[in-house]
């Protein structure tokens, strides 16, 4: 079911692009939506706090934590940012900071795309900022789908922690059933802890790299 629901995301995005194109063709302007996106961003940030604090597993996860588990989210963030920086050398259109901002979404496509558009509009202009936000949306959607579909291969060739790292933020929710099936139920607390820490870090990393 989670896979089916997340397959709807590209379809909804494509439908939005089509509707926007058709409305633009008849002269309908969306220039006043900047304030709306800001309020949506605030709502998403509030939802992050609610989802973490209201999680049934939150207290259990905290009690079962070990300091060594911090190495997994650290490895996830480090690997993601290194790969994003490497990609920037292949894309002359975007700076290394822009690519790092996109990679900093860590699979959180809804928050990262809105946040990037909001933060980059003053420096890039609305059109380029929207383009970069769209890239972030697609890149993080693909990461989530890759985590869902490729988890068995990652587990087989890279170990039981690999599906957790690839999932990024989604290791705490959407990808959790897949991680449990491929890596084992003992990985569930680690996956939740990993996802929560990545979830909290996303706004800070994106804000930092968008400000460079």
CA 71 from centre of chain = 20
Residue 130, C-beta contacts closer than 8 angstroms, at least 6 positions apart: 117
User: How many CB atoms neighbour CB 104 within 10 A?
Assistant: 28
Give φ, ψ of 155 to 5 degrees: -65, -40
**R_g of the chain, CA atoms, integer Å:** 18
Angle at 78 between CA 60 and CA 42, to 5 degrees: 65
pLDDT digit string, tens, across residues 186-200: 888 888 889 888 988
Tens-digit pLDDT string for the chain (212 aa): 444 444 555 566 667 667 766 766 665 555 555 556 556 656 665 665 666 566 665 566 666 667 778 899 999 999 999 999 999 898 888 999 999 999 999 988 878 888 899 899 999 988 899 999 999 999 998 998 899 899 999 999 999 999 999 999 988 878 888 888 899 888 888 888 898 889 889 999 999 999 98
At residue 4, the pLDDT reads: 45
Q: What is the pTM of this model?
A: 0.73
């Amino acid at each position: 079911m989670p896979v089916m629901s997340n397959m709807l995301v590209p379809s909804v995005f494509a439908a939005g692009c089509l509707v926007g194109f058709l409305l633009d063709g008849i002269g309908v302007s969306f220039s006043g939506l900047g304030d709306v996106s800001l309020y949506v961003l605030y709502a998403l940030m509030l939802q992050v706090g609610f989802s973490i604090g209201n999680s049934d597993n939150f207290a259990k996860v905290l009690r079962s934590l070990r300091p060594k588990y911090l190495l997994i989210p650290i490895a996830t963030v480090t690997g993601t940012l290194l790969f994003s920086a490497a990609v920037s050398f292949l894309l002359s259109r975007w700076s290394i900071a822009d690519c790092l901002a996109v990679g900093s979404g860590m699979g959180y496509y809804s928050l990262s795309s809105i946040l990037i558009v909001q933060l980059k509009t003053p420096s890039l202009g609305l059109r380029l900022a929207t383009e970069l936000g769209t890239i972030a949306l697609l890149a993080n959607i693909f990461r989530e789908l890759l985590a869902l579909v490729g988890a068995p291969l990652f587990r087989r060739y890279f170990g039981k922690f690999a599906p957790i790292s690839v999932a990024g933020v989604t290791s705490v929710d959407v990808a959790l059933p897949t991680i449990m099936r491929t890596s084992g139920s003992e990985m569930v607390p680690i996956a939740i802890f990993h996802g929560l820490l990545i979830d909290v870090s996303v706004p800070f990393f994106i804000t930092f790299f968008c400000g460079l």
